[in-house]
Chain A
């Protein structure tokens, strides 16, 4: 039991930190531009595939630096020549533009790298067990992932709170119009934030690619979860996104480890199962199976009862 708790906590925190790498960019983009970027997880996927390709051609460490830069440039280009054109049609059009973009990126990735998962391996330097606990080993690469995501989290925190551009971004989070009035080149800041957000997502992709599976559906799987994190934490709130990332990371990891169903719960209370027929499956569903559903349930519940999210101040 202790073994399960320790490993699930480690994995949960790791998954949560990865989510935060993505969610931080997404929530920054949303709060500044009002655009919920549907393609954000697609940039994460691009990061993973670029990382795979570059580590084939060169090596993993170069890929870790170059892939996020490339993806960041692509993101900035998308903002400059895509989103900015759509901006005049309003937020729905912007949202739909990123929706279409996610579609196109997935198709392009399928075309270039195929529909099957690619063989993106952990770099040999980190391919050893970090420590052993209760007879189970924990891979060093996972510790490395944790390290990288914590480091980036700290850098992000420093940039946002200590640097001038960070102050402008923070100001633009809460008072976008006022920042424009003060004479800052808001479109340029938008492009910068969009590019950096995409770059952050790409870093997550490069380090998550070898540990999780690098395949064309990875964006599609992660995208909705990302929205859950951002909305649950509160739109435009970085601390909220951080808490929500960790929460969802932990919930999902722990749920997978628990093999207990509603039927078992009833049985332990000594009750019969009331529903039969086509809905009788309801009693056999285990917590592990429910795991992927929980985030969406959380999303719906928080939006119904507290539309501003955990720590947010605005609804849209």
Chain B
């Protein structure tokens, strides 16, 4: 890169655009989004997305970058959030001259502090032992959150009021749109910071520790130290995400620090793809969107969520980002068009199987959960039928069976075509 800029100075602006274009584009998208999706629900969803992007990226610093599978990352998110809520209340009560936009830093500091404390005990080992310690610590703090009511507020949690703080330039952060821009700004800064971290020598060493800890030791690095530092930084960013959540919801409760929250961030990062930096961003956006949209459409949305996750683990361990990057070489070689017809063919059994599965789940959900109160009549995608009659079940089973059978039959052809195009 450096050589090209020196020999061809004329291409410097182009080079800069290539280098920073994606960031400028990202900032522009973040600024413009609320002008396009103006509804209150969309704004709330986008705020949540921003928080979750920071959270899942911080998680990926452990899982994707350093190869540490954590089942207790919500601890740092939750503790950061709780400290931010307490800080908000203290600042409002004592009229301290601290503006709201700086508050996520308090959350980050809390995340960092506990990252240091818990990291010191848990990062001495990698692999399964680390995963189990993180699970133990996660459950420990989650159980404590119900016992120490003074700090965690028990089941109902701790509330705060973000508008009661020092106002700068007349912005009081009352309306959601102002909070959105605050979250977007923090999210943008955090994404850049975390991306920059992956480019530092330390960030590269994290990858080395993930890939081959023995050789990393031979090069002269302490793998434990590298894991520890990565863990602390991940805790810091998780704390920032928690602080943003505290500002957004003005409430923190035991759910935010529970094992379920740790599970959600794992799902996000994995569905998005842990192998690439932008994977967890995609995962956070998609999973948040699914949470909001699917829960409106169907009562069985958690089930779909779990099934999507299992499918991803079974067939696409690289996540969505992995799937996209798989096609990049074909795109660069211009052979992507040759594979597309095969995808079109495969889409038929996939659509059949999916339709069968959805019909099966929806009919079962209606029959088991809703039929007792609302009666067996139900509607799905414009079709009206009764969930206690045989036809929908037969159709669902037939669609699912045919989809699976055809899919298995035709899959080798797609694989062959893909291999041909990639060669």
Chain B CB within 8 A of A112 CB: yes
Within 8 A of A (CB), among B308-329: 309-310, 313-314, 317
With A97-B313, A99-B266, A304-B124 as known contacts, state yes or no: A108 contacts B136, CB within 8 Å.
no
Quick check: is B9 within 8 A (CB to CB) of the other chain?
A: no
Flag whether B185 is at the interface (Cβ < 8 A). no
Chain B residues near A103: list those with CB within 8 A: 263, 302, 305-306, 309
Contact yes or no, A278 B135, CB < 8 A: no
Nearest CB of chain B from residue A278's CB, rounded to whole Å: 4
- Contact indicator A293/B314 (Cβ below 8 Å): no
Q: Is the interface of B mostly helix, strand, loop or mixed?
A: helix
* CA distance in complex: A281, B151 (Å): 9
B365 and A299: CB pair below 8 A? no
Cβ of B11 within 8 Å of any chain A Cβ, yes or no, is no
> Which of A88-96, A148-156, A239-247 lies at the interface with chain B?
A88-96
Identify the stretch in B36-44, B139-147, B161-169 within 8 Å (CB) of chain A at 4 or more residues: B139-147
Q: Which A1-54 residues have a C-beta within 8 angstroms of B?
A: 36
Q: Does A138 contact B (CB under 8 A)?
A: no
A280 — which chain B residues lie within 8 A by C-beta? 150
A86 at the binding interface (Cβ < 8 Å): yes
Which A residues from 42 to 83 make CB contacts under 8 A with B? 82
**A103 closest partner in B (C-beta):** B306
Residues of chain A contacted by B346 (CB below 8 angstroms): none
Asked if A187 is at the interface of the complex by the 8 Å CB criterion, the answer is no
Query: Is A179's beta carbon under 8 Å from chain B?
Result: no
Question: Given A277-B150, A296-B140, A307-B125, are A224 and B135 neighbors across the interface (CB < 8 Å)?
Answer: yes
Once bound together, how far apart are the Cα atoms of A303 and B132, in whole Å?
A: 8
Contact: A316 with B69, CB < 8 Å?
A: no
- Select one of B86, B121, B303 contacting A300, CB under 8 A: B121
Q: Interface range on chain A: under 10, 10 to 19, 20 to 34, or 35 or more?
A: 35 or more
Contacts of B127 in A (CB 8 A): 315-316
- The answer to whether B148 and A95 have CB atoms under 8 Å apart is no
Residue numbers in A under 8 Å from B306 (CB-CB): 100-101, 103-104, 107
A282 at the interface (CB under 8 A from B): yes
Known: A293-B140, A296-B140. A100 touches B310 (CB 8 A): yes
Contact status of A304 and B144, CB under 8 A, knowing A111-B365, A299-B132: no
Q: Is the CB of B314 within 8 A of A86?
A: yes
Instruction: Digitize A293-316: 1 where CB-to-B-CB distance is under 8 Å, 0 elsewhere.
Output: 100110110011001000000011
Could you tell me if B313 and A100 are in contact, using CB atoms closer than 8 angstroms?
Answer: yes
**Contact status B150-A279, CB under 8 Å:** yes
Complex contacts, A104 vs chain B, CB 8 Å: 303, 306-307, 310
Given contacts A96-B313, A315-B125, contact A111 B364 (CB under 8 A): yes
- The reply to whether A95 and B125 form a contact with Cβ atoms under 8 Å apart is no
Stretch in contact with the other chain, from A119-127, A201-209, A284-292:
A284-292
Q: Is B368 an interface residue (CB 8 A)?
A: yes
Tell whether, in the assembled complex, residue A279 and residue B128 are in contact, meaning their CB atoms are under 8 Å apart: no
Q: Which of B331-371 contact A (CB under 8 A)?
A: 364-365, 368-369
Q: Are B314 and A82 in contact (CB under 8 A)?
A: yes
Please tell me if A141 contacts chain B, counting CB pairs below 8 Å: no
Inter-chain contacts of B135 with A (CB < 8 A): 224, 227, 299
Query: Does A185 have its Cβ within 8 Å of any Cβ on chain B?
Result: no
Interface assignment of B55: CB less than 8 Å from any CB of chain A: no
Q: Does A136 have its Cβ within 8 Å of any Cβ on chain B?
A: no
Which residues from A are CB-within-8-Å of B17?
none
Would you call A293 and B128 a contact (CB within 8 A)? no
Residues of A within 8 A of B402 (CB): none
**Interface class of chain A by DSSP:** helix
Given contacts A95-B131, A231-B132, A303-B133, contact A111 B147 (CB under 8 A): no
- B149 at interface (Cβ–Cβ under 8 A)? yes
Task: Write out the residue numbers on chain A whose beta carbons fall within 8 Å of the beta carbon of B139.
Answer: 224, 296
**Cross-chain contact A282 with B148 (CB below 8 angstroms):** yes
Among A82, A111, A307, the residue within 8 A (CB) of B368 is A111
**Cα-based distance from A63 to B278 in the complex (angstroms):** 50
- The smallest C-beta distance from A288 to any residue of chain B, in angstroms, reads 11
Whether B115 sits at the interface, judged by CB under 8 Å, is no
Determine whether B300 belongs to the interface, using a CB cutoff of 8 Å to chain A.
yes
Assembled-state Cα–Cα distance A277/B90 (Å): 13
Q: How far is the CA of A220 from the CA of B260 in the complex (A)?
A: 10
Q: Is there a chain A Cβ closer than 8 Å to B270's Cβ?
A: yes
Establish whether residues B150 and A316, one from each chain, have CB atoms under 8 Å apart when the complex forms.
Answer: no
A277 to B263, CA, bound (A): 32
Q: Which of B122, B128, B140, B309 contacts A315 (CB 8 A)?
A: B128
Contact pick for A296, options B136, B266, B305, CB 8 Å = B136
- Residues 353-391 of B, flagged 1 when their CB comes within 8 A of A and 0 if not, give 000000000001100110000000000000000000000
Of all chain B residues, which has the CB nearest A83? B314
Query: Are B121 and A304 in contact (CB-based, < 8 A)?
Result: yes
A300 touches B136 (CB 8 A): yes
B129 CB within 8 Å of chain A: yes
In the complex with contacts A89-B313, A107-B300, A111-B300, A289-B129 CB distance below 8 A: no
- Interchain CA distance A278-B364 in the complex, whole Å: 48
Given contacts A96-B266, A299-B136, 16 further A-B contacts (CB under 8 A): A36-B128, A86-B313, A99-B263, A99-B266, A103-B263, A111-B365, A111-B369, A112-B368, A277-B150, A278-B86, A278-B151, A281-B148, A293-B144, A299-B132, A300-B137, A303-B133
Can you list 6 residue pairs at the A/B interface with Cβ under 8 Å? Answer: A97-B313, A103-B306, A235-B128, A278-B150, A279-B151, A293-B144
A residues apposed to B, CB below 8 Å: 36, 82, 85-86, 89, 91-93, 95-97, 99-101, 103-104, 107-108, 111-112, 114, 220, 224, 227-228, 231, 235, 277-282, 285, 289-290, 292-293, 296-297, 299-300, 303-304, 307, 315-316
